[in-house]
Amino acid sequence: MVRLDLNLLPPRKQLFGKQGRGILLAFVFVFLLLVLVYVGLQGVVNSTRVQAAQVQADLAQYGPFEQNLIQLDGLEKQVRSSEAYLQQLLGKLQDWYAVTINLAHNIPNQVALTSITGDANAQVNIKGTAPSALEVSRLYFGLRNATSTASIVVNSISPQLSGSWTFDMTYQAVQGVVP
């Protein structure tokens, strides 16, 4: 007996032909590749977010230290400024030891000083009393001839009822000269 296969149904149409299957496989491959890339990039983004959160936490932890550093920088600038100012003052500083030695060497025994003042420019004002005008002139010439005196001026000299003399002198000391 011969068997005959007879199909009364219309031929099936394939959704894709051989060429269509290749295109479909290519689309599926590209889609899977894109999904893998997306998942991989999502992992990188998540790890970057975790690192950023860690950095933010570290910054919050070190915030007070940053404020301290800012304050420290300000203090350091103040110290440098103060040092520069101090150096400037030291450059103008008078050797007051030399001035007092100059006075001690040149003041007569009978002269009594009532006031000694000086300024940063080494200008010294002397007020006092003496038993006579001769003692005042000895003080004047002693200071004038001293190597540590640049100039001297007698501002006033006057006799008192008691017989003594009061005087007021100003002299310019030479800076840094020790007699």
pTM of the model: 0.47
Average pLDDT value for the chain: 82
Give the model's pLDDT for residue 24.
Answer: 80
Give the model's pLDDT for residue 154.
Answer: 92
DSSP category for residue 80: H
Q: Rounded distance, CA 163 to CA 130, Å?
A: 9
Q: How confident is the model at residue 177 (pLDDT cuts 50, 70, 90)?
A: very low
pLDDT, mean of residues 87-111: 77
Q: How confident is the model at residue 179 (pLDDT cuts 50, 70, 90)?
A: very low
Q: How confident is the model at residue 16 (pLDDT cuts 50, 70, 90)?
A: low
The terminus-to-terminus CA distance of the chain in angstroms comes to: 153
Q: How confident is the model at residue 99 (pLDDT cuts 50, 70, 90)?
A: confident
Q: How confident is the model at residue 178 (pLDDT cuts 50, 70, 90)?
A: very low
Residue 165: strand pairing partners: 130, 159
pLDDT, mean of residues 80-95: 72
Q: Name the least confident of 3-12, 72-81, 87-96.
A: 87-96
Closest to 171 (Cα-Cα) out of 127, 129, 133: 127
| Residue, of 33 and 92, whose pLDDT is higher | 33
Give the model's pLDDT for residue 1.
Answer: 67
